Amino acid sequence: MEKLNIEGRLIGPGEPPYVIAEIGSNHNGDMDLARRLVDAAVEAGADCAKFQSWSKRSLICKAEYERNTEYADTHRHFGTLEQMCAKYQFTETQHREMADYCRERGITFISTPFSAHEADLLEGLDVPFFKIASMDVPNLPLLEHIGAKGRPVMLSTGMSTVGEVERAVAVLREAGSGPVCVLHCIAVYPPRYADINLLNIPMFQDVFDVPVGFSDHSRGTAIPLASVAVGACVVEKHFTLDKDMKGWDHWVSADPADMAEIVREGRNIALALGGRRRVLCADEQAKKLAFRRSAVAARPLTKGAVLAMDDLDFKRPGTGIGPDEAAYLVGRTLARDLAEDEEMQWNDLL
């Protein structure tokens, strides 16, 4: 299996999970907020800050804007679709600003391109890999265009069948992409638990022989942490400073405490998975002496007595004769008197 190498950080089985703080449109069009989000992502320990490279013109067609002018949920939607896209779009200048800021703060800058033009812009900003959104799994022209740039690719797979993922990976590779990582993703915000199917993660890894990650849209940290436990090499989650902020995705995003927990506990889980081989660590070896049991006299016993099973009791500590050795005690003769509850040793027997 080919791991990804992103600015020296390896991504794949056995490596610590690569955490992507998806800022997306959570900057609400405000670059000060964007910078504070990057700062918070750095502080939480995320490996990567991700944006979205679409413009009002490149993503949605005119007729669709005309069809979407009113929304019931005004906390998330402040105006028409067109007005919101105009505000939240990420301009070329803003791209450069945020790429520089991320570099300065020491966190990888990535953005998902939604058109060939945006992919070219990102190539110009020297992004270390390309992220492709779930909605573009069937966008074969875009996949070819991005694949030809020869960089590693992370492909989200929400809404897609296995065949569509298979085709997308084939097209990317045939176009010349670098190593590919597939992100299991349910494109519902948030999905029902029974619809998440985290077991798709080891399935994709097994069948496609690529590193597989998880793009999470659940509420909270349990599901992304569980994804690490089933083998996700990448965890991506929307990121906000405040889940109650106005805007599209803040409510299903991780806040700084959530993101820090995902980073910290994700690493702990990856370590805790360990291996299949049963190995006793030194601490456990030592514990046997205190936690197991040793043979003691069940009642006062006299020298010369022939031991029967009911003369024996087994209590902590485990420094003496274990209960699994009782067969070697029964029928033996005591060499000295033993008080009730006194520990028995081998040289107490004739």
Partner 1 sequence: MSLNKIVHVGDKFVGDGCPCFTVVELGVSHEQNVDLARDFIRQAKASGADAVKVESFQADDFAFDKTLTHTYGTADGPRTENYYAMLKRLELSYDDYAKLKQEADEQGILFFSTVHNSANAQVMQDMDVCAFKIASSDVTNLPLIRDLAKRGLPVFMDTGGAYVGEVERGIREFEAQGCENLILMHNPLGYPAPPDKTDLRMIPSLKALFDVPVGLSCHTPGFDMVVAATALGANAMEKPITRDRTLPSPEHIFAFQTEECDEFVFKVRNTEIALGGKRRSSVPSGSYARKTRRGVYAAKAIKAGETLSGDNVVFGRPLKGIPVELADEAMGMTLRRDVGVHEPINWKDLE
Return residues touching partner 1 (CB under 8 A): 167, 170-171, 174, 206-209, 275-278
Reduced to 3 states (helix: H, G, I; strand: E, B; else coil), residue 193 is helix
Question: Please, how many CA atoms are within 13 Å of residue 157, restricted to the half-sphere of its CB?
Answer: 26
Residues in CB range of 151: below 8 A, 6 or more apart: 123, 127, 128, 129, 130, 177, 178
182 or 338: CB nearest partner 1: 182
Single-letter amino acid code for the residue at 63: A
Q: Considering the complex, what minimum distance in angstroms separates the CB of residue 150 from partner 1? A: 17
Q: Considering the complex, what minimum distance in angstroms separates the CB of residue 174 from partner 1? A: 7
Contact at 8 Å (CB) between 55 and 81? no
159 or 203: CB nearest partner 1: 203
Q: If you ran DSSP here, which 8-state letter would residue 219 be given?
A: S
30 or 206: CB nearest partner 1: 206
Scored b (16 or more CB within 10 A) or e, 117-126 reads ebbebbeebe
Q: Considering the complex, what minimum distance in angstroms separates the CB of residue 171 from partner 1? A: 6
106 or 275: CB nearest partner 1: 275
Contact at 8 Å (CB) between 220 and 258? yes
Q: Considering the complex, what minimum distance in angstroms separates the CB of residue 169 from partner 1? A: 10
Q: Considering the complex, what minimum distance in angstroms separates the CB of residue 201 from partner 1? A: 16
109 or 204: CB nearest partner 1: 204
Of 210, 222, 232, residue with least CA distance to 16: 232
62 or 278: CB nearest partner 1: 278
Reduced to 3 states (helix: H, G, I; strand: E, B; else coil), residue 100 is helix
If one counts every other C-beta atom within 10 angstroms of the C-beta of residue 1, the result is 11
Contact at 8 Å (CB) between 25 and 52? yes
* Residue 9 in tokens: 């950080």
Q: Considering the complex, what minimum distance in angstroms separates the CB of residue 170 from partner 1? A: 5
Q: Cα(first)–Cα(last) distance of the chain, in Å? A: 63
If one counts every other C-beta atom within 10 angstroms of the C-beta of residue 150, the result is 12
Q: Considering the complex, what minimum distance in angstroms separates the CB of residue 324 from partner 1? A: 12
The structure tokens 């992100």 sit at: 183
Q: Considering the complex, what minimum distance in angstroms separates the CB of residue 192 from partner 1? A: 31
42 or 273: CB nearest partner 1: 273
192 or 276: CB nearest partner 1: 276
Question: What length does the chain have?
Answer: 350
